[in-house]
Chains A and B, each alone.
Chain A
């Protein structure tokens, strides 16, 4: 399930719900990304999406992850709008028969969300506004999945 929300969420509640009724799942891996304060440099983070398009593009990434790692299920929840430091921005959960697939699929999904999912992120701090674009490290992270089979 892929969800965008402009409301704060509790990652633990999402994991509890995702874990329900799974008698054939051996492993669930989750990732929660939080907004950092950057020592006061970031007072608020604003995330913009392209409604409809953003969900569909994430859906394509999710389909790739399902095939590649033979996932039983996955969930992605992503915040949009204004986010305060310490709040969760993104939650990813993957369910598989065994742990390796669940871990790797979670890692894969996050690398794609960081630099390929249609979001635009603006930091506001004492020095003004700044649009965040993928760093060289983000490109290197995604390249790992393109060179291995």
Chain B
């Protein structure tokens, strides 16, 4: 279980911004989301989507716990 956050167009596609989800790794969470929502799954696998675990960008997979915060971040644009 982890707290999952979606930002930018990802939350528009999914129709939610934040929820709790079962899964013991980043890739397991992503696979779970893709299973539930094909359009979201495709968007999560799209170019430039990064994952932050407890507010640090992580490259590759990592273990998550019930207290983890996992954020899926599409390409960023400020200014």
Contacts from A to B (Cβ < 8 Å) = 33, 47-48, 50, 52-53, 56, 78, 89-90, 110, 113-122, 129, 131-134, 138
B40 → chain A closest CB, angstroms = 15
Q: A120-B8, A120-B9, A120-B74 are in contact. Are A89 and B79 (CB under 8 A)?
A: yes
From B12, B71, B75, B77, contact of A50 by CB (8 A): B71
The CA of A129 and the CA of B13, in the complex, are separated in Å by 12
A86 → chain B closest CB, angstroms = 16
B54 → chain A closest CB, angstroms = 10
B7 at the interface (CB under 8 A from A): yes
The interface on chain B, measured as residues whose beta carbon lies within 8 A of the other chain's beta carbons, has a size of 16
The CA of A132 and the CA of B55, in the complex, are separated in Å by 23
Mostly, the B contact residues are: loop
Q: A53-B71, A120-B8 are in contact. Are A90 and B77 (CB under 8 A)?
A: no
- Which chain B residues border A122 with CB–CB below 8 Å? 8
Cβ contact within 8 Å between A118 and B79? no
Cβ contact within 8 Å between A133 and B78? no
